[in-house]
Structures are given as C-alpha cells and as structure tokens.
C-alpha cells in the first residue's frame, strides 16, 4: 500500500518511485488536480534535458532569461510605437513552455479575451459601441471645424507667429 493509504487494492510503491512516477506522468499525477484542470501543464523541455537535473535547471534559467528579455522589450514598446502587448504575451508564451505559473496566466488571459470578444459581439453592446463611436467622431469633427474656422490650416505650435 502507498504511504498514508488504507485501500487494500492499492499496490505498495516506494516513496521515491512514486515521486518519480508522478513526475513522469506529468499533469495526470498532480495532487489536487481536478479533471482537466492541469492538462498540459508542466515543462515542455525535451526528455533528455528533463532527465538531468542540472541541465534542466540550466534550461529553465535560459528560458526565464529569454522570456524576461522579450517581456522587457514589450514593456519598453508600451509607450513607444510598436506592438507592446503582443510582445509581452509572446514573452509569457516563452515562459509558459517551462513554468506552470505562466501557463496558468496565459490560460486566464485567453479566457478573459474570449469572454470580452463574446461580449463585444453582443448586438446591444455593438449598437452602444457604434453609437459612442459616432458621437465621438462628431465631437472631434466639431472641434476640428471650430479650430479650422478660427485659425485655418495653421499648425497649433505656429499660432503665436500669426
């Protein structure tokens, strides 16, 4: 019997062997995982890397550093021109190849984006968004008309020169 189990039908397994079996089983062997909760979670490193502890640790450090660099570039792109959020999520995807926490963050993000897309496709929400867009464009057009009637086609930083 396994340690801590009173089930007579369970086969006795040494604690070290059970730990190894759980690690090799991947997500199915995780304690407390519900059905489908942790499907696909864990390292996606090649087996020859996972078999050697020091090599796997080096692999994880490398993946973390590369992911950190990509996320850093994405953060720099947020105020600058460029696809900042896309690059940040790309870095998270790099981290998700090795780290469970990043996989869970990406799952949560995908779920929220899908929910937002479904809400945006709701006819009431679409009508509201179109109405707000038309009102916003009308306000911008009115302000542009007022500016053009008052100053003509002069750039704002050259108004004092007139």
Per domain, the residue ranges of the chain are: 1-41, 47-121, 123-162
pLDDT of residue 19: 44
pLDDT of residue 87: 92
pLDDT of residue 51: 79
pLDDT of residue 39: 61
SS3 letters across 128-148? HHHHHHHHHHHHHHHHHHHHH
Consecutive 10-residue runs of the chain (162 residues): their mean pLDDT? Answer: 47 46 42 49 76 83 92 91 88 88 89 88 87 96 90 72 54
136: exposed, middle or buried (Cβ count in 10 Å: 0-12, 13-18, 19+): exposed
pLDDT of residue 55: 83
49 near 59, Cβ under 8 Å?
yes
Element (DSSP H or E) covering residue 111: helix 100-120
The angle, 0 to 180 degrees and rounded to 10, between the axes of the packed helices 53-77 and 84-96 is: 170
CA distance 56 to 50: 5
pLDDT of residue 69: 94
Among 152, 50, 39, smallest CA distance to 103 is for: 39
């Amino acid at each position: 019997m396994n340690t801590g189990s009173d089930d007579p039908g369970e086969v006795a397994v040494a604690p070290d062997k059970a730990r190894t079996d759980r690690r090799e089983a991947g997500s199915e062997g995780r304690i407390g995982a519900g059905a489908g909760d942790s499907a696909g979670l864990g390292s996606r490193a090649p087996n020859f890397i996972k078999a050697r502890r020091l090599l796997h640790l080096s692999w994880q450090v490398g993946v973390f550093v590369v992911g950190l660099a990509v996320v850093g570039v994405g953060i720099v792109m947020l105020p600058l021109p460029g696809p900042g959020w896309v690059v940040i999520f790309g870095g998270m995807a790099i981290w998700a190849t090795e780290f469970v926490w990043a996989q869970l963050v990406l799952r949560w993000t995908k779920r929220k984006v899908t929910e937002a897309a479904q809400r945006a496709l709701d006819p009431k929400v679409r009508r509201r968004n179109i109405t707000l867009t038309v009102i916003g464009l009308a306000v911008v057009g009115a302000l542009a008309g007022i500016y053009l009637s008052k100053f003509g086609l002069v750039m704002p930083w050259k108004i004092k020169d007139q």
